[in-house]
Amino acid sequence: MLRFVVPLFLIFVGSMFAVWPSFALEGDVGKIESSSKNVRIRIAELDQQLQAHLREAVEKFGDRQIECGKSAEKKPLSDCIAEDGDDLTQTRLSIARTKDGDVKDGPLDELAATEERFAMFIERMNKTNDLLSRAGAKMYRTSFDITPEMDQLRRQVIAYVERKQEYDLRLNQAMLIAGVTLVLIAIFAMIFFATRRIRGN
């Protein structure tokens, strides 16, 4: 009996060794979700500052004539902003993410959502500063650079993906070894019992 229990115990220990990294991966997922949420909070705060700066500029320079639009006609700054399809004076970047039903998103989805908000903010800031510069108004500048946080988030996701691939490979190898071991145990068990039966007869 012992000769069958020992291999089964070794298979169990090997399976635990293969599954153990998944707990570390879960911890990485939590860190990535927290980091991406913090970055989105920063982006939303900067977007609010941008809108406040723009509204203040419109109050002071709203009547100033500038070239804007596809026709490049001269219009008041306020009209150029009002005609913009994105409505630059309105805050559009939120912190929360939109999810489809009960689908659980992973780190790559977190990164994609944060990258999208980051790109939208940069686009809105550049568009706003372009209009303000044409009107001779003070452009929006912030002392806070969110790029390092975005780079850190990207590195976290890359490290997670690499560890996940390594874990999947190790798990597949462990499952293969366990399967082969079980087959061999079954074969030797059949031979063992067949031999005992023959000797018994």
**The two structure tokens encoding residue 55:** 């509204």
pLDDT at 157: 92
Burial of 105 (0-12, 13-18, 19+ CB in 10 A): middle
pLDDT at 69: 75
Rounded average pLDDT per 10-residue block, the chain, 201 residues: 54 55 71 90 89 89 85 84 65 58 71 90 89 90 83 91 84 76 77 75 57
Q: How far is CA 89 from CA 71, 92, 135, 186, in A?
A: 22, 9, 16, 73
**Helix, strand, or coil here: 66?**
strand
pTM attached to this predicted model: 0.69
- Measure the CA dihedral 72/75/77/78, to 10°: -120
**The two structure tokens encoding residue 155:** 């590195």
The CA angle 37-38-42, to the nearest 5 degrees, is 115
pLDDT at 1: 47
